[in-house]
Structure 1
């Protein structure tokens, strides 16, 4: 398990320690004293040692180190001020609270004064280590002597902690476990090793830590201008063991080459070349990437991660950050200047990272990537297993890093006819042989639909020939709520309980007959993602809708996964005959590489603001495989489907 020394956030000081930097927790400043029941005189009256103890602890707590040092003897006051002021810095503490213990040694004040003018005072220290986890609470002890009639604390580093010796300092050491892998359905890692540089510092060698880290933060513009938090970096550096290399950034080559060159000119920044499994081998938009913990990313992942840590910044890497990375083991230590003599004062064990296994099949994934490789326009593809709902392949080509296979939003065009046909078969008494017409133009509810006219025939023939006017006319056989309900049976617009972001589709209630007719042919306001249409194909193939999933063994909240939905057997049988006819004789025939291939191809145009856009679809299935392809532009999608099905 690799070990990385990491510091904590820097706490600002000053009178009453009241000023806090942006993003810091509120520091609790209340001091609670416990009176000594055995004292025979007034609690705070001379000759009691209590006022000296009380004043010292209050001054230390609120950051008035000069006043605290004024209550001590034994060493130079400046040395005391420096030692007390560095406690928060060395621990990067969010707050420090001190309270009197339950006794001052000696049964009463008279005995202390008369016998030897000596006393021991016990107190409690409670330090909020912020992102390091639980507060650290421990007992403290100080020795007092009456000097010139006044009680004084005999200074020793052991006042800060009873195990702290002269020449030692506090430090926070973080042991970061090796990140667990993301694996495919066969348990093989989906990340590949690439060259990278770890940029960091030796805290004790920085001439001006604040200047170095401010320049580092300004130079570090990552992914659209995100920056590191210089203030929190400073706290981390100041609390780290000064003699050890402290990594602050892991930068991939060649992705971050320009940033690497800029940082080489920052005084105090050191580089170490490494090879690390941080790049997705495939499906990068789903798997996600790793990167530095910038300020805004830390707001997403939260404690105990810190500025400069390598964390998940997108996809599964981000969504499963805590599972994949675990949490570090935190140790507070006392060490000398060399760092070789270290004594642990307290530790908090971390959580072990856990592998995240996906359902992606490397063979099908390779085919999907191959099928989209030469498409000149942005294209996405999803393949699912109808019998289980498992996602077997996710491919995005030319999408600028967006997972449009899951999150794209397009009108489905006549591929939505799968839903419309099942609704007509189950609710309007039709089947694939029902006689229909395909005129060149038809007006429904004031909206006109056109296509190439076909001679009168049956529903399967007109569906295969992409007759929009056929479905538009048949919309009168269904009411709007029936159409929406049947769409829900295919999962459109329903909750999927998926553990990654995805668009489940939308089919708003049609306001009139024209909108209902447009919905029947997948136009108007109907929107779907490629994943939604792959599930439509899977439902038609299997006769039941199963919720999709892409991660195995990732816990979900009770009730988060919806139950399967079952279609009526007879309408499904008719629907499969229609889709088989379309693949054999109609618009999907270019993809029919075997007799079990069914599907439908479509091309539709739509308005996106002031622009007119086109999307080309193929939605189909073969055996226990269902898939959807969407291309932003004109494309012969059956040929793409053929490449996927054959792998050549």
Structure 2
């Protein structure tokens, strides 16, 4: 019963008016739709059965005029109106009627006759939503023989045995308070902002359809998304007439122009509220809330309705059901004032649960500050090396994209961390191995250049950004080994993170030239800042661990096992990265003695345009991090700003 979504378009949601002849034909055709208890045929001997059968068929197919014609005891227009409003008052997808009740034994008479009076039992089955059990209940009608013909004695209790004269059916939805997304200490990651709740008193609307049509025409949200007019109208018609019904919540000042337009629509009510609905930080990860438009309802599914405030991005969307819970829905009988209400049936919802992240507000503030002054799009991730916890996620100028997790960039010489580990683990090299750094080297038809350096150790040439050194050494590692080493550091694996992330891609090189390009982080190699932050974390701790940003294991998929490269290889790698931070290209980041890392600048083509990304990948103690900037900047200075707080 929980979802009333998309039902307005389903069979029985709206029955067109039919001519009298056509209605009779429909009733005849539908005779067989009633359950097999009506086996006497459409034109049986004079008895109460045909009257009961024809009344139920006409009601079920929406031929309310014909149904009312089978009644006595009330004005036919009144009966026709009462029967016709049942679907609207319940916003029902379908209504099925059958003679008899399923709870009684087969030998119990469905129709009990006593002279010119009779009572007939029947079953009502109403589909209130596509994802739940229909509402099914027993019905009872009284009949009287008038002028030799059986007639149904009209009473509102025919619709439901508890429905009294002057009452109507209504659907009451109680939405629980949304739970927060919290940081690693359990404090809310949301901030309170001003908003307007837009709603209606359904019984005060002069023309509900006109009001809702105007509302949905004006409501183009976040790139033209619209509310579902038909479903929203069904929601209004089924709600208690004298109770305020919120339809959507619009943030200030984001939706100021829309709020102003809506004030001109008759019948809309506006209530100013302040609510913790905006992310306090890391908005691209935490996500935003917004109205449930038609396309968003397709994403989140049952049991949400048009206009509900739901998660529309980030964790707010991914954990919508957990954070929002599900509403308690009740069908009630009430008088037109709304003061006298009797519950007929209720379907309990689920309580919301908070979602706790691993984000640390202090680290998050430092990461945001580090990128704040840049004029280029930039992203940064900080993690705890010993656990894989994501401590900070910063995106600056990325247009709402979480490029810290989902960016696709060539890593350039920061991928040298992977290549160096492959050389240490598979080729028997050490950080002290003597190497050369020529100005130009060609491998497999690909040419690599850098400033020439005199012969020295591998660690010194690595620190000096000697691309030609790594290109030459590519002959010591086969392509499969390089891909396998990258996978051991998590690149290209499914991390089971629970939020979208690009884990990287290192295709098997097709030839020696491609392999040399891969060794220096060029060609087809692509990574995200998060992927490289985890590489740095493994370099510091000696073990690659899958990252995680949600603390509850039930919110994430199965994560891969931790991987530990040979300890001697890790020791050589840490010495190499320490040398790079103390004397090489990363020295601007060395605010303390435990910093290790590498900086790189790489140029690539994307969509026929030349682009540049500046990198810093490294660690300081148990903090590992990666910075990627889409432009030429001094990334070691950014790293120092982050580390210095």
TM-score greater than 0.5 by the shorter chain: yes
User: Hey, what does 1:632 align to over in structure 2?
Assistant: 630
| Alignment correspondent of 1:616 | 614
Shift of 1:8: 9.6
Residue in structure 2 matched with residue 63 of structure 1 by the alignment: 62
Change (3 A) 1:334 1:9: farther
The CA distance in 1 between the partners of 2:505 and 2:7, in whole Å, is 45
Aligned-residue offset at 1:269: 1.2
The CA distance in 1 between the partners of 2:284 and 2:186, in whole Å, is 20
**8 Å CA contact 1:360, 1:550 repeated in 2:** yes
Q: 1:172 to 1:110 in 2, by over 3 A?
A: closer
Which residue number in structure 2 is paired with residue 563 of structure 1? Answer: 561
Deviation at 1:205, TM superposition (A): 1.2
Q: CA deviation at 1:228?
A: 0.4
Q: Give secondary structure in 1 for the equivalent of 2:305.
A: coil
Tell me the equivalent position of 1:20. none
CA–CA distance in structure 2, aligned partners of residues 93 and 625 of structure 1: 56
**For the Cα contact (< 8 Å) 1:96–1:127, is it kept in 2?**
yes
Q: Which residue number in structure 1 is paired with residue 51 of structure 2?
A: 52
Change (3 A) 1:176 1:608: same
Listed as ranges, the matches of 1:216-255 within 5 Å are: 216-255=215-254
Listed as ranges, the matches of 1:336-347 within 5 Å are: 336-347=335-346
- Report the counterpart of residue 14 of structure 1 in structure 2: 16
Distance 1:591 1:613 in 2: 24
Query: Quick check: 1:48–1:109 contact (8 Å CA) kept in 2?
Result: no
Other structure's SS at 1:339 match = coil
Q: What residue in structure 1 maps to residue 545 of structure 2?
A: 546
Q: Could you report, residue by residue, the CA deviation over 1:26-53 in whole angstroms, capped at 9, with x for unpaired residues?
A: x9x93214259xxxx9996333211111
- Alignment partner, residue 362 of structure 2: 363
Q: Does 1:264 align with 2:263?
A: yes
Count of aligned positions: 626
Secondary structure, counterpart of 2:460 in structure 1: helix
| Residue equivalent to 1:485 | 484
Aligned-partner SS, 1:121: strand
* 1:287-298 → structure 2 map (5 Å cutoff): 287-298=286-297
Distance 1:71 1:110, change over 3 A: closer
Superposed, 1:414-433 pairs within 5 Å as 414-433=413-432
CA distance in 2, matches of 1:230, 1:429: 69
In 2 relative to 1, CA 456–177 (structure 1 residues): closer, same or farther, beyond 3 Å? same
Counterparts of 1:439-588 in structure 2, within 5 Å, are 439-555=438-554, 560-588=558-586
CA contact (8 A) 2:284 2:400 kept: yes
Deviation, 1:13, is 1.7
Asked whether the equivalents of residues 5 and 303 of structure 2 are also in contact (C-alpha less than 8 Å), the reply is: no
How far is 1:552 from its partner? Answer: 0.9
Which of these residues, 591, 605, 611, is aligned with residue 603 of structure 2?
605
State the 1:214 CA deviation: 1.0
Describe the superposition over 1:230-271 as per-residue Cα deviations: whole angstroms up to 9, x where unpaired: 111110101011111111110010011111111111121110
TM-score, normalised to structure 2, is 0.94
Residue 202 of structure 1 is matched in structure 2 by 201
Distance, in Å, in 2 between the alignment partners of 1:529 and 1:213 is 45
Alignment match, 1:127: 126
- Cα deviation 1:152-209 (Å, max 9, x = unaligned): 0000100000010111100000010000010000000011110000011111111111
Q: Tell me the C-alpha RMSD between the 2 structures.
A: 2.3
CA distance in 1 between counterparts of 2:151 and 2:162 reads 21
Q: Does 2:351 align with 1:348?
A: no
Matched, 1:591 2:589: yes
Between 117-126 and 45-54, report the one with greater CA deviation: 45-54
3-state SS of 2:217 partner: helix
Residue 247 of structure 2: SS of its match in structure 1?
A: strand
Contact in 2 for aligned 1:98/1:125 (Cα 8 Å): yes
| Greater displacement, 628-637 / 133-142 | 133-142
In structure 2, do the counterparts of structure 1 residues 7 and 153 end up closer, same or farther at CA, with 3 Å as the change threshold? Answer: farther
Alignment CA distance shift 1:641-1:106 (3 Å): closer
Report how far residue 410 of structure 1 moved.
Answer: 0.3
Q: Give the conservation status (yes or no) of the 8 Å contact 1:196–1:276.
A: yes
3-state SS in 2 of match to 1:552:
coil
CA contact under 8 A between 1:8 and 1:239: conserved in structure 2?
A: no
2:30 counterpart of 1:34: no
- SS of the aligned residue for 1:532 comes to helix
Distance in 1 of aligned mates of 2:50 and 2:168: 28
Q: How big is the shift at 1:107?
A: 9.1
> 1:186 matched to which residue of 2?
185
> For each residue in 1:282-328, what CA deviation from the matched residue of structure 2 results, as whole angstroms up to 9, or x when unmatched?
01000000000000000000111000000000000000000000000
| Correspondence for 2:334 | 335
Distance in 2 (alpha carbons) for counterparts of 1:111 and 1:508: 79
Deviations along 1:497-542, whole A, 9 cap, x unmatched?
Answer: 1100000001111111111100000011110000000000011111
Alignment check: 8 A CA contact 2:48 2:111 kept: no
**Pairs within 5 Å for 1:301-320:** 301-320=300-319
CA contact (8 A) 1:426 1:568 kept: yes
Q: Is the 8 A contact 1:16 1:62 kept in 2?
A: no
Closer, same or farther: CA 144–131 of 1 in aligned 2, 3 Å: same
Kept in 1, the 8 Å contact 2:581–2:598? The answer is yes
Q: Distance in 1 between matches of 2:347 and 2:607?
A: 55
Deviations 1:320-362 (A, max 9, x none): 0000000000000000010000000000000000000000011
| Cα deviation, residue 14, structure 1 | 2.7
Superposed CA deviations along residues 550-604 of structure 1, whole A, max 9, x for unmatched, are 00114168x7211111111001000000000000000000000111010000000
In structure 1, distance between residues paired with 2:227 and 2:392: 35
Verify the 8 A CA contact 2:110 2:122 in the aligned structure 1.
Answer: no
User: Closer, same or farther in 2 for the Cα pair 1:375/1:52, shift >3 Å?
Assistant: same
Partner of 2:25: none
**TM-score normalized by the length of structure 1:** 0.93
